[in-house]
Amino acid sequence: MRNIQLTALSLTLGALLLLGLMQSQASNSAAPAGGVLFFVALIAVPMCATAAVFATVSSLKLRTRAARAEYGFTRPFWWLVLALNSAQAVAYLGVIIILVFG
């Protein structure tokens, strides 16, 4: 479960870095840059989707105290990782609700 939480967090950070790269290069109107940005988007969007699934499922699994103790989420670092992934899962669910009902 720790690996899943760390994977979700690292995928999110990687996707944010790639999307930040896209944002910084979006002002460049050259045709080759547009092709590169398309391929960056093809990498970043699945990373976000995978992170959303990992964060949501693992955060739901760790919602009870017994489950957190069983998987070793007792130290402050793991509490921080769990809190970040839980906030991330809520944000992803909010985006999906907005897309479906918005």
The encoded tokens of residue 47 equal 């990373």
In this prediction the pTM is 0.80
Q: What is the pLDDT of residues 6-43, one digit of tens each?
A: 999 999 999 889 888 777 766 665 556 667 777 887 88
**Residue 23 Cα distances to 30, 44, 54, angstroms:** 15, 12, 25
**Alpha-carbon gap, residue 21 to 23, rounded angstroms:** 5
The answer to whether the beta carbons of residues 83 and 5 sit under 8 Å apart is no
Average pLDDT of the residues in 94-98: 91
Dihedral through CA 30, CA 19, CA 102, CA 93, nearest 10? 160
- Count CB-CB contacts under 10 A for residue 30: 9
Residue ranges covered by each domain of the chain: 2-101
